[in-house]
Structure 1
Amino acid sequence: MGTDRQARATEPPAIVEGAVAGPIEVGPIAHGGHCVARLDGRVVFVRHALPGETVTVRITDTSHERFWWADAATVIAPSPDRVSPPCPIAGVCGGCDFQHVRVDAQRGLKADVVAEQLSRLAGIHRSVTVEAVPGDDGGLGWRTRMRYLLADGRVGMRAWRSGRLVPLPDGGCLLARPEGRDEPFAHTSETGELQVVVASSGMTVLRDGEVLAGKAVVEERASGRAYKVRADGFWQVHPGAADALVEAVMAGLRPETGEHAIDLYCGVGLFAGALVDAGCRVTGVESDRAAVELARGNVPEARFHTGRVERTLGRLPRRADLVVLDPPRTGARAAVVRHVVGLGARRIAYVACDPAALARDLATFADEGYELASLRAFDLFPMTHHIECVAILTPAVRES
């Protein structure tokens, strides 16, 4: 028994959530905004660290047997890319992953993530450059659509992976458009979820979906067209996003007058409008009925179907010259990809907000005979790990 007590006395103390451990050396960036490190042989995904740094970490989640989550606690050897976060609640609020990183270095990290996902999941090996777009001030002041929590006389943001309210600092959220930053403080006596939308046509404020100020349907502009969109509906949140994505899609597709284009997950008709203006005959599909009604008004020259894409494919034309896909974060998935391939399009534009889903779908395209012709990546979400990509696919050239 004495030997057992001695053995137990020399064992390292168990690491529990909230404990500080390390120091450890931080490894590469991973999808999701974390860096990969190892603690006593176990994989730990560390937030608010940078590759190459030496840090101690505070363990935040030990619920997974194969890996843990942690936050950087003390930075012992900082990266030259590290800066002081401009917001006092950065690292506590769940909205920002990269405020501690120089903006140009953030784009380098995102490029690394896209390249790694393409390589690992699709077998595609290429360098990636992340492009900046006009409309933010050094990574701040770009977000046109914001959600806040109201409770107990306070207004704030959600903590990371939590519904806990993190009170806003006095200046408001620095990612929000300046026109709407003060609005949340006028609602501290209320409860629920507050949305502040700064559209091209003005500001709308909603609480739990009810319009408190402004209009329920707002106007946005892109590539010379006006689009009606519900204030609480989907529109890109970066003011430069819609123009950047339309330009990338159209440059990649190279539409010709008279061609037939199919726009899948078309929303209120952003890409359909650009394709019509290029002389194409356009058919769009969107599951959100309200968005389709707006699309029909925004782009009356096109035809639109309401329904989930995977359930609506049979109602579409059997052939198309061009296809645009702008699927949700989960991607288009194999059944939709295979149907799209069967349309025989000469060019396909895939707009992706998740690099892992993009890579999986590109692998399916490759299996079905389409190859990646070009890829552009855009920093539409500065200070966060999120990134948008536009992939152009063409039929693979078969060797004789």
Structure 2
Amino acid sequence: MENFRKFIGCYYDEVVCLGGRRLSETISARNGIERFFDYYYNDAMPLPKSDMDTTILHTHGQKAKAAKEDLTRLLKRLKVGPADTLCYPSIDFYSLLALADAIDELRAAGSPKLLIRLIGVMETASSAQYAKPLSVALALINRLCEAGLDIKLAAETPRYAEYLAIQLERSVAVAANIELREQVPIAGGENFTVICPGSARYDKGFLTLADLFNSVRQRDPEMRIRFRTQILPDRDLKHQLDYLITLYSIPGTTILSSQLPAEELVTMYEKADLVLLPYAHDVYQFRGSAVLIEAMCSGRHCLALDGSAFVDQMRYFGGGTACSSIADMADKIITFSKETPGKREARARQARDRFVRDLSSSYRDWVA
């Protein structure tokens, strides 16, 4: 949120960041986010001890009603007018539904501009109410456009932007994940460290790691190549204990918690030589990857399984290499481990510079 506020703040006199009412006070205060909206997604992402909380929203009707009430309260509370903009960095289904249900209220407020960015995740989180939630989300966007409201659309990846543009028959900008961290020099040294940040999910390839690590280890008996990966959250890990034991048994492998503080993730990138993204291409058909962007800006090359939408970006910026299979990824780990740090830094610098220039122009096209 802080990166987003800084990046688009130059286009506005003031930026007010609003988040969920259940956001912790510490996070809210540290990031300058006002706790405002109810939480509509406990069924998809349960809050701690939510099974004992009687105020949690459960039904589709409850969520739709709360979302519209939140939006109308926002319009009144901030005295939104025609010169203002409502920006949704990652539009969610119930906020989109609230916008479509509050067209009269938006018109009464002077039809403020709407910046709607879609990332292929929350815009379809409709509590299993619809068989084709993306089709419903697109219909809601069309309803807003046909009402004559000033809407500018963006998608996280070029592939998703093209798909949306064709389906909606409207222009859709490309607005990648914002990342502003500086490139970090590669330390070099005796070991070559390969990391899998954020791989603590099935769709991010957690169950492919044992075969991958073992394949590399068989060709690296001196254990120069080391691995660091996060694990599944407890609710999933309890079904994969034998697999976890297998991972622990692979020499040169460090297993980290499923959730790490931001500071530890930064350190993880700093100490890395290579980043792995063995993501499921069907799940990431349209999605981007925050890890890819973080790695590029940190100056770390990525290896990713081909087919995901973010791989198109990775190729364009030169931030990584696509792999046809896990076996191919193992081969490429061996290959890159033999490159000098200087060559890897030069490649990473070129990718980062190209990404940053593209990021600035793409957000200007969307926001301005």
Name the TM-score, length of structure 2 as normaliser.
0.28
Structure (1 or 2) with the greater strand fraction: 1
Larger Rg: 1
TM-score by length of 1: 0.26
